[in-house]
Structure 1
Amino acid sequence: MESKRQQKYAKLIQKELGDIFQKEARHLVGKAMVTVTRVGVSPDLSVAKVNLSFLLADPKSTYELINDHKREIRHHLAKRIGKSVRIIPELAFFPDESASYAQHMDKVISDLNIPPAPEEEEEEDND
């Protein structure tokens, strides 16, 4: 269970990282749309686990590129929130698999061959 402080901190980081990926880190991601889907912060606020979702790009290569430029992204984050927080957390990026999992499950369900239920004849009581 995250404390209110952790939740507030996570929400701030999520918002600012979203803006960074749209503006400052545009040269890293190119035309890809990067969405920060979830941020979890450690109790001491020193580590932020960031889940990312990617559109219009190869998720694996974009994820690796972002992971390689972690320091630069953290620097942009520090410029944005440095005055309001004591610690700029270390960033740990993880690809968010929920969209691809939902797509996979949708395909599995649509590929199921379920025969229609037999129609039951209603018996009428003639007493």
Structure 2
Amino acid sequence: MSKIRAGRVGEQIKKELSLLIQSELKDPRIGFVTITGVDVTNDLSQAKVYLSVLGDEEQKSGSLKAIEKANGFLRSELGKAIRLRHTPELIFKLDESVAYGSHIEKLLGDLGKSEKR
């Protein structure tokens, strides 16, 4: 039962953090950021938030640093939006799966073009 609850809490955290990052954070270092997933521990003490950032490595690291700096603000606003006894500790990680998927798709496209010749 706790896995089901952790999944629901993770989806709610994802929704609320997406809104907070888009509307409340005014840091110019934050580029186009998408939250791709949230993994919450069964005891709801930690939440790993996976971010996908559009841009080069410099923009990715700048956005991640700015969001980590705003961790306290995001956690307090999340606590106001979601009524839990303890707000989970937020751990932000870059999600490279989107970039990896587009790289594989490009390779498959190039392979298809070379076969047609």
Pair 46,111 (structure 1): closer, same or farther in 2 beyond 3 Å: same
User: Aligned partner of 2:98: which letter?
Assistant: A
- Please identify, of 94-103 and 52-61, the stretch whose mean Cα deviation from structure 2 is larger: 52-61
- Larger Rg belongs to: 1
Give structure 2 stretches of 5+ with no counterpart. Answer: none
Q: Which has the higher helix share?
A: 2
Corresponding residue number in structure 2 for 1:71: 72
Deviation at 1:92, TM superposition (A): 0.4
Greater shift after overlay, 86-95 or 66-75? 66-75
SS of alignment partner, residue 91 of structure 1: strand
CA distance in 1, matches of 2:67, 2:75: 11
The count of residues paired between Structure 1 and Structure 2 equals 113
Contact 1:10 / 1:41 at 8 angstroms: preserved in 2?
Answer: yes
Deviation at 1:115, TM superposition (A): 4.3
Which has the larger displacement, 47-56 or 27-36? 27-36
Q: For the residues of structure 1 that align with 2:69 and 2:14, how far apart are their CA atoms?
A: 19
In structure 2, the residue matched to 1:120 is none
1:52–1:93 contact (8 Å) kept in structure 2: yes
List structure 1 segments (4+ residues) > 4 angstroms apart after TM superposition: 113-117
| Aligned twin of 2:106 | 107
One-letter amino acid of the structure 2 residue matched with residue 64 of structure 1: K
Structure 1 gaps of 5+ residues are 118-127
Deviations 1:14-62 (A, max 9, x none): 110011011111x125672221110010011010000011236722211
Task: Confirm or deny: 8 A CA contact 1:18 1:35 kept in the other structure.
Answer: yes
What is the TM-score normalised by the length of structure 1?
0.76
Identity %: 35
Higher relative contact order (CA 8 A, sep 6+): 2
Counterpart position of 1:49 = 48
CA RMSD of aligned residues (A): 2.3
